[in-house]
Structure formats: C-alpha cells, structure tokens
Amino acid sequence: DTAVSQTPKYLVTQMGNDKSIKCEQNLGHDTMYWYKQDSKKFLKIMFSYNNKELIINETVPNRFSPKSPDKAHLNLHINSLELGDSAVYFCASSQGLGGETQYFGPGTRLLVL
C-alpha cells in the first residue's frame, strides 16, 4: 500500500536516448511534483501539477516533458538524455497547493553514460 510509487527505481542509459519515469500516488491528492536531486544531494523542484494542470515549470530544459493523464499519475519523459541529467528524480504529492505537506516517492536513480 505504497503511498507514492515510482518506476523504475534505477535507470541506466546512453546519451541521446529518450526515457520515461512513471509516478503514481494512491493518497487521493490533487497535486503532484517532480524534484531533481543532484550529486551533492541538493533538491530542486522541476514541475508541479494540480488536477492535471501545470502549475510550476522551473526553467527546466524543453527536453523534459511532464505528463499527467489523471491526478493520480505524473510521468516524466526526457528526450535526448545528456550526462548532466544523471541524478535522482523524486516524485511527490500533496493534498493541494496551499503549502500542505508533500509526500515523496522512493526516487529513480538515473545514470546517463
């Protein structure tokens, strides 16, 4: 009964490839997020969606495209992967936008070779 789940857990791929990371939450939350954690463990928000509507897009390259088919899912598709995309990507969810607690998934460790 995992609250926020992500697949895959690990992703190793070559530069230039396209890959997707999936996220699902079963908490009934309206808002979902993607964060990137770099090699120094710094966490930075990338995107947020509220009821399938894009709310935050934090100067992320166009190669990153989030997609929310419904409010329980927020997927992240990355085109033309670069070495600098190597990081841990965390999905999170919260009830709404008003500063509520965000619940994080287990992370997807992406390594671009």
Partner 1 sequence: AQSVSQHNHHVILSEAASLELGCNYSYGGTVNLFWYVQYPGQHLQLLLKYFSGDPLVKGIKGFEAEFIKSKFSFNLRKPSVQWSDTAEYFCAVNVGRRGKLIFGQGTELSVKP
Contact residues: partner 1, CB under 8 A: 31, 33, 35, 40-45, 48, 50, 55-56, 90, 94, 96-107
CB of 90 to partner 1, least distance (A): 7
Return the number of the residue (56 or 73) whose C-beta is nearest partner 1: 56
CB contact burial 25-55 (16+ within 10 A = b; e otherwise) = beeebbbbbbbbeeeeeeeebbbbbbeeeee
Q: Could you tell me the smallest distance in angstroms from the CB atom of residue 18 to partner 1?
A: 25
C-beta of residue 74 within 8 angstroms of C-beta of residue 23: yes
Q: Shortest gap between Cβ of 96 and partner 1 (angstroms)?
A: 7
Nearer to partner 1, 50 or 75 (CB): 50
Q: Which is nearer to partner 1, 51 or 80 (CB)?
A: 51
